[in-house]
Amino acid sequence: MEKKLGVYICGGCSIGEGLDLEKLSLVATKEYKVPICKTHPALCGEEGVSLINQDIETEGVNTIVIAACSGRVKYDVFDFGPSNIVERVNVREQVVWSHDWTKQVQVKTKDAEGKEEVKAETKPNEDTQMLGEDYIRMGIVKANKTSLPEPFLEEFTKNILVIGGGITGLTAAIEAANTGYDVTIVEKNSQLGGYAARQRKQIPTKAPYSELEPANIQEKIKEISNHPRITIKTGTEIARISGAPGMFDVSFKQAGTKTKWDVPPPRKKEEETGEAKTEEPVELPADQIKCEDILTKDTDAERFGVVVVAAGGRPADPSEFEHLGYGKFANVITNVMMEDAAAKGKIIRPSDGKEARTVAFIQSPGLNGDDSDFPYCSSVTSMISLKQAKYVREDYTDGKAFIFYKHMRTPGVYENFYKSMQNDEGIFLTRGEVKGVTENADKSLTVEVDDTMIGENIAVNVDMVVLATGMVPETRFDPVINLAYRQGPAFKDLELFDGYCDSNYICFPYETRRTGVYTAGNVRQTMTNGECIEDATGAALKAIQCLESTNRGMAVHPRSGDTSFPEFFFQRCTQCKRCTEECPFGALDDDEKGTPKPNPTRCRRCGTCMGACPERIISFKNYHVDMIGSMVKAINVPDEDEEKYRIVAFVCENDAGPALDMAGLNKLKFSADIRFIPVRCLGSVNTIWIADAMSKGMDGVLLIGCKYGDDYQCHFVKGSELCNKRMDNVAETLGKLRLEPVRVQQVQFSIDEYNKIPEVIDKFVKVIEGVGFNPMKGF
């Protein structure tokens, strides 16, 4: 594409008052010889937009640089179609709104009598002007280095695979199928329904949320069995899922069996470094079937576009709490055993089949002042105890159900359910610390509870004790998805979240770190039937969104609609595998030699691979190492004698970027010595940019990204963390160059901390002032 640049500078929103627009234009026309540069008092108005449109039509302008407000606003106004490149230069929020327009200067003048006097005079602030000009320079350079992305398009399928035939899986399948997609549902058991089919009644799913409801799972099973768009595979498991969104190749197998299409264990480090010597039969049992490499194609595999994982969970084993007598006394059971018993008929004691008229429910193991509930407990286990207490009352008019809890959690509308259950005169509730369960001669049990609301330590004699144990997500035990990915068959970092699948839990539910694989129900969080249904519906929608984005060559999340994808200049690849290893989404599978095999539809376009690559051979059409490097170099670094510092900041465009805009919006002032360059993610920051900045004579580099660690906020999960790891190397390099390591710093920033922007920036500027100018300035 032959580029013709047009630079348009807006004078509205105080930009014209804070900056000298003429001088800004000169940057474009004189320094960069941009053929067309225009200013307008209100570019976003009808007249301003038509001015640009006119140039597109008559002058053939196709690369438009707009120096006005933040690119986060008015993007609809400045949309000139897919065939034109638009670059927004933010001179409003990040220049005139956050910096002083004038400053006081001491000027020596002579009065009429020739006497010298010193006067304070107000002059335009040259620092603010320099800042604006630098942003124009960077904008022009960036526009010059951008090309239009061409979407990655293939023959994609739109079929949806749902793993798990419980209430979540069934709902997801029905919802997706009713929207017009073909769905295959896989259940490893011979029957559909999961735990929901084993319930006597369910926690309410509709208003007024106060009474138990008959379980409606059978209706769903009936609906799914007759659905023309749904294929059911019971007694089936996933051997492997290879490929990528839009073209997942799924090998099924009979549940509990092993096949050669099972995913081989990840390669060991020494294997990776050596030449293609994989499969060592030594570590495998004699009957072990040799698994095919992940890149081998199973011709019998079925193709799916997207996967919804609704694998549910398994009941936790409470044997570890010996004082409760589970496993020791026949009449101490778990809530799952209770549910099974209740579904069969009247509640009876397992020891002798005698009617269980008084039942104690234990919510928290107690002992030694420990406040925690059973592992994997939640509001759901609280509500299950309430529900099962009601069973006792349904079965026996003189039935008594005691619930001993540390926490009774019935959030939101479920308060109605709590109230209703509590209102039953035979349900006795108290907070308390369970001291122990003992068995009496007649197999009845005595539960001792300390520190109750009754004001003393009590004990009750009961026929049966039910422990409110939690559901452990299936992903804790089994990869379930068995991805033929080089990073391994399972979801990542499961151990950080007790086996629950995770990816920005609050902001992006259903998403996982495997693009095109969505989770719903109990693999994500313990849920009631009603919540499972809601969750399944959400996941089905996300799956459809993924299909329809992939189909058009667009990223799904969080860069929805982005059609760029990483391109590799393989001739220069050293097969170091850093990209394969660091990609937070496992988008790359290296082959036997270690050459990365990109899977564009798995990619979220964060650019972490680009940041990782030491050879800098990974680039996007509109985002690459050279582009940002050139932007850094475009910044005008004043000579040392001008006494002005220059700092470049790479800013995460997801959270820190918006925070900067908000700071501007709130007219918070900060140093004009710093230039911000938005990056897709700190993970995409290639250390060469830091070197570029230093050799250009910049005095410091600041990296502003998301919080990382347990409560990470990174949109790409690992970006800011990876960047931080690379910082160690940077410090080392700086040391070698005899530059102070403090010149390069990374800060963790949360989107709601915009008011701390001046503090963060000015603090860094102070640090730089402390170490002085970059000695390499001017070289």
Partner 1 sequence: MAEANVIKPDLEFVKKIMNSGGESLKKCYQCATCSVVCNVTPEDKPFPRKEMIQAQWGLKDKLFSNPDIWLCHQCSDCTAYCPRGAKPGEVLGAIRKLSIEHYAFPSFLGKAVGDPKYLLGLLAVPVVIFLTVLGYLGHLRIPEGEISYAEKFMPVLAVEAIFIAAALFACLGFFAGVVRYWRDLKSGAELSTNKWQRMVKGPIPVIIINTILEFMTHRRFQKCEVTKDRSNAHMFVFFGFAGLAIAAVWALVYLYGYEFFGIKTSGIFNFGLSPYPLHDPMKIFANISALALFAGILQVIMNRKNNAEKAGNGSYYDWLFISIILTIVTTGILSEVLRLADIAALAYPVYFIHLVFVFFLFAYAPFSKMAHMAYRTTALVFAKYSGREDKKYS
Contacts with partner 1, residue ranges (CB under 8 A): 398, 400, 402, 419, 422-426, 428-431, 435-436, 438, 446, 448, 453-461
Q: What is the largest CA-CA distance in the chain?
A: 119
Query: Cβ of residue 517: shortest distance to partner 1, in angstroms?
Result: 42
Helix (H, G, I), strand (E, B) or coil at 557: coil
Which amino acid does the sequence have at 469? T
Query: Cβ of residue 428: shortest distance to partner 1, in angstroms?
Result: 5
Q: Which two tokens stand for residue 26?
A: 């000169």
The answer to whether 183 and 544 are in contact (CB under 8 A) is no
Query: Cβ of residue 403: shortest distance to partner 1, in angstroms?
Result: 12
Distance, in Å, from the CA atom of 127 to the CA atom of 277, rounded to the nearest integer, reads 61
For partner 1, the closer of residues 273 and 440 by Cβ is 440
What dihedral do alpha carbons 403, 409, 413, 415 form, nearest 10°?
40
Any idea which residue has 């089919």 for tokens?
A: 197
Count other C-beta atoms under 10 Å from residue 352's C-beta: 11
Distance, in Å, from the CA atom of 485 to the CA atom of 474, rounded to the nearest integer, reads 20
Query: Cβ of residue 427: shortest distance to partner 1, in angstroms?
Result: 8
Query: Cβ of residue 204: shortest distance to partner 1, in angstroms?
Result: 18
HSE toward the beta carbon, residue 309, CA cutoff 13 A = 34
Please give, one letter per residue, the 3-state secondary structure of 69-137. CCCCCCCCCCCCCCCCEEEEEECHHHHHCCCCCEEEEEEEEECCCCCEEEEEEEEECHHHHHHHHHHHH
For partner 1, the closer of residues 109 and 440 by Cβ is 440
Q: What pairing do the DSSP bridges indicate for beta strands 116-124 and 230-234?
A: unpaired
For partner 1, the closer of residues 386 and 520 by Cβ is 386
Distance, in Å, from the CA atom of 647 to the CA atom of 690, rounded to the nearest integer, reads 11
Helix 379-395 with 335-344: angle, nearest 10 deg: 30
Query: Cβ of residue 317: shortest distance to partner 1, in angstroms?
Result: 25
Query: Cβ of residue 214: shortest distance to partner 1, in angstroms?
Result: 25
For partner 1, the closer of residues 448 and 463 by Cβ is 448
For partner 1, the closer of residues 90 and 444 by Cβ is 444
Query: Cβ of residue 360: shortest distance to partner 1, in angstroms?
Result: 11
For partner 1, the closer of residues 147 and 430 by Cβ is 430
Q: Which two tokens stand for residue 751?
A: 């989107």
DSSP assignment string, 246-272: TEEEEEEEETT---TTSPPPPPPHHHH
Burial of 589 (0-12, 13-18, 19+ CB in 10 A): buried
For partner 1, the closer of residues 81 and 369 by Cβ is 369
For partner 1, the closer of residues 431 and 621 by Cβ is 431
For partner 1, the closer of residues 461 and 755 by Cβ is 461
For partner 1, the closer of residues 336 and 356 by Cβ is 356
Helix (H, G, I), strand (E, B) or coil at 44: coil
For partner 1, the closer of residues 302 and 424 by Cβ is 424
For partner 1, the closer of residues 95 and 429 by Cβ is 429
Query: Cβ of residue 416: shortest distance to partner 1, in angstroms?
Result: 12
Any idea which residue has 């009598």 for tokens?
A: 113
For partner 1, the closer of residues 336 and 427 by Cβ is 427
Query: Cβ of residue 207: shortest distance to partner 1, in angstroms?
Result: 20
Q: Which two tokens stand for residue 339?
A: 């549910």
The answer to whether 10 and 43 are in contact (CB under 8 A) is yes
Query: Cβ of residue 455: shortest distance to partner 1, in angstroms?
Result: 6
Distance, in Å, from the CA atom of 663 to the CA atom of 214, rounded to the nearest integer, reads 54
The answer to whether 672 and 646 are in contact (CB under 8 A) is no
For partner 1, the closer of residues 457 and 755 by Cβ is 457
Of 760, 689, 679, the closest CA to residue 720 belongs to 679
The answer to whether 701 and 647 are in contact (CB under 8 A) is yes
Q: Which two tokens stand for residue 202?
A: 């369910």
For partner 1, the closer of residues 280 and 371 by Cβ is 371
Query: Cβ of residue 365: shortest distance to partner 1, in angstroms?
Result: 17
Count other C-beta atoms under 10 Å from residue 133's C-beta: 22
Query: Cβ of residue 398: shortest distance to partner 1, in angstroms?
Result: 6
Query: Cβ of residue 378: shortest distance to partner 1, in angstroms?
Result: 20
Any idea which residue has 């230069």 for tokens?
A: 89
DSSP assignment string, 307-349: EEE---EEEPPGGG-GGGTBTTBTTEEEHHHHHHHHHHSS-B-
Query: Cβ of residue 400: shortest distance to partner 1, in angstroms?
Result: 6
Query: Cβ of residue 419: shortest distance to partner 1, in angstroms?
Result: 7
For partner 1, the closer of residues 30 and 419 by Cβ is 419
What dihedral do alpha carbons 226, 230, 236, 239 form, nearest 10°?
180
Distance, in Å, from the CA atom of 516 to the CA atom of 518, rounded to the nearest integer, reads 6
Distance, in Å, from the CA atom of 664 to the CA atom of 677, rounded to the nearest integer, reads 16
Distance, in Å, from the CA atom of 638 to the CA atom of 768, rounded to the nearest integer, reads 15
Count other C-beta atoms under 10 Å from residue 423's C-beta: 9
